[in-house]
């Protein structure tokens, strides 16, 4: 695998003139209490470029004036006491073995290394420093990259700071065969756990017990990573798109909407299914369910390179518009957007809502997107969402979730056993 990471790093530098530097931080977990931190989640760009899943590391790529490239990883030194309490930090040799980065240095020397490269380049033309300065929310606190950008701007105003998120996002959006293989593993683990959950369902079950059945099945498989916080929504809770209290009784006659997924080596699956808790759809539930399923099939039939997520969503809205009367939903001045208030797709990969999820971006072969139409009818306490993950090919798409049972008949047959 280290060849993969090496190739990604050199691809990133390929189009860049020296002198330039790239810094990517692995991140760290915020503290939760005196001696406990929140779970650590590695910066996905750092992971994509190194394969390393550890805190407090910095990747530095440096291309000098003549085009020579130096790669350096800055890591925390090994600490014998920490090793006894929480396990050992990664040693330099292991970091090199995983990432292929030959030079591994103590993170304490990072500032000196940075300053000395900047000084060395004084008078040799504009030095560019590339950082991932993307904020997922406008109020998001400064990351180490933002802090470094501020420091360089103050101390070295002649250095040019450039954003590198867009380039990394474009690379990450198109998946390799190895990445697809990991995503398929996540699909399979999720399939097994979804079936376990459906088998476990009964009228009067708590949403949390169903969530537990899913988690237990994943853990039985040795899969500990979730792509995101599971949504298990009984009855009317399903009309809240990201309901995740998951702690109410599901009554006989109600459906359960689940939206969840495992991840393998951080590669996500994102699956939604909706099923009757007693194992048998009512006629009305079936009617709504099949309308959503038709919308999903329409998108899967149509998705191909050159289309945009907005166009795919327009298909769903148009289809629902054509069904509103026969579904008995054109009432009280309501339109499609009163029953379907999200979009049909987002990109999927190292993040659940992955990079390049903009509505107008054209699809390319190798991209993986979700296809997740829904219908949410508050006054009937019905919410249905059906979500599969598909990979765009040269002329269409492949459904990576096709093994996860989906039709009314398949669900009823499984739950009858």
- Which residues make up the interface to ligand GLY (CB under 6 A)? 228, 259, 270, 346, 352
Q: Nearer to ligand GLY by C-beta: 185 or 346?
A: 346
Q: Residues 336, 395, 289, 187: is their CA dihedral positive or negative?
A: negative
Instruction: Output the six-digit token pair for 376.
Output: 């949410």
370 forms part of the interface with Mn ion (CB under 5 A): yes
Q: Which of 372, 389, 399, 406 is catalytic?
A: 372
Q: Which does 228 bind (CB under 5 to 8 A by kind): Mn ion, ligand GLY, none?
A: ligand GLY
Q: In sequence order, what are the beta bridge partners of 74?
A: 58, 105
Return the range that interacts with Mn ion (CB under 5 A); candidates 94-102, 134-142, 368-376, 407-415: 368-376
Q: Which of 146, 200, 323, 353 is catalytic?
A: 353
Q: Is 353 a catalytic residue?
A: yes
Q: Is 200 a catalytic residue?
A: no
Least distance to ligand GLY from the beta carbon of 346, Å?
6
Q: Which of 44, 184, 191, 346 is catalytic?
A: 346
Return the range that interacts with Mn ion (CB under 5 A); candidates 29-37, 198-206, 224-232, 364-372: 364-372
Q: Is 14 a catalytic residue?
A: no
Q: Is 43 a catalytic residue?
A: no
Residue whose entry in the numeric block shows the structure tokens 């769903």: 316
Q: Is 259 a catalytic residue?
A: yes
Q: Among 43, 55, 132, 270, indicate the residue that binds Mn ion (CB under 5 A).
A: 270
Q: Nearer to ligand GLY by C-beta: 59 or 371?
A: 371
Instruction: Output the six-digit token pair for 109.
Output: 């020397």
Q: Is 376 a catalytic residue?
A: yes
Least distance to ligand GLY from the beta carbon of 292, Å?
15
Q: Do 192 and 221 form a contact (C-beta atoms < 8 A)?
A: yes
What gap in Å lies between CA 191 and CA 402, rounded to an integer?
10
Least distance to ligand GLY from the beta carbon of 229, Å?
9
Q: In sequence order, what are the beta bridge partners of 307?
A: none
Least distance to Mn ion from the beta carbon of 346, Å?
6
Q: Is 54 a catalytic residue?
A: no
Residue whose entry in the numeric block shows the structure tokens 């509103």: 324
Q: Is 372 a catalytic residue?
A: yes
Least distance to ligand GLY from the beta carbon of 324, Å?
24
Q: Which of 62, 243, 289, 376 is catalytic?
A: 376
Q: Which does 132 bind (CB under 5 to 8 A by kind): ligand GLY, Mn ion, none?
A: none
Q: Is 35 a catalytic residue?
A: yes
Interacting residues with Mn ion (CB under 5 A): 270, 370
* Residues with active-site annotation: 35, 242, 259, 270, 342, 346, 353, 372, 376, 385, 387
């Amino acid at each position: 695998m280290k060849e993969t990471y090496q190739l990604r790093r050199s691809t990133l530098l390929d189009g860049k003139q020296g002198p330039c530097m790239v810094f990517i931080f692995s991140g760290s977990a915020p503290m939760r209490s005196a001696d406990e931190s929140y779970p650590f989640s590695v910066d996905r760009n750092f992971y994509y470029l190194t394969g390393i899943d550890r805190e407090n590391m910095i990747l530095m790529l440096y291309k000098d004036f003549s085009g020579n490239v130096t790669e350096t990883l800055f890591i925390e030194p090994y600490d014998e006491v920490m090793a006894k309490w929480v396990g050992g930090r990664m040693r330099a040799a292991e970091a090199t073995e995983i990432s292929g980065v030959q030079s591994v240095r103590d993170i304490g020397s990072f500032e000196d290394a940075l300053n000395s490269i900047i000084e060395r380049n004084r008078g040799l033309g504009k030095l560019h420093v590339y950082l991932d300065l993307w904020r997922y929310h406008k109020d998001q606190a400064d990351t180490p990259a933002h802090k470094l950008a501020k420091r360089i701007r103050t101390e070295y105003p002649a250095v040019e700071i450039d954003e590198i998120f867009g380039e990394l996002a474009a690379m990450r959006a198109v998946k390799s065969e190895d990445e697809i293989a990991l995503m398929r593993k996540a699909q399979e683990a999720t399939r097994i756990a979804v079936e376990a959950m459906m088998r476990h369902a009964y009228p009067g079950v708590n949403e949390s017990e169903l969530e537990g059945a899913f988690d237990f099945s994943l853990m039985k498989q040795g899969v500990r990573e979730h792509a995101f916080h599971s949504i298990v929504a009984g009855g009317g809770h399903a009309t809240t798109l990201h309901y995740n209290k998951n702690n109410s009784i599901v009554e006989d006659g109600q459906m359960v909407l689940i939206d969840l997924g495992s991840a393998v080596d951080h590669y996500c699956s994102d699956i939604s299914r909706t099923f009757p808790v007693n194992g048998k759809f009512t006629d009305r539930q079936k009617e709504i369910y099949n309308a959503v399923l038709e919308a999903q099939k329409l998108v899967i039939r149509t998705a191909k390179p050159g289309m945009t997520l907005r166009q795919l969503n327009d298909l769903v809205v148009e289809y629902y518009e054509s069904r509103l009367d026969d579904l008995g939903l054109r009432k009280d001045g309501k339109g499609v957007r009163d029953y379907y208030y999200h979009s049909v797709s987002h990109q999927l990969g190292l993040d659940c809502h992955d990079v390049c999820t903009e509505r107008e971006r054209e699809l390319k072969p190798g991209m993986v997107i979700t296809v997740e139409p829904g219908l949410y009818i508050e006054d009937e306490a019905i919410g249905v969402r059906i979500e599969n993950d598909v990979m765009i090919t040269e002329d269409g798409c492949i459904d990576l979730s096709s093994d996860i049972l989906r039709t009314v008949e398949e669900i009823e047959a499984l739950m009858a056993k």
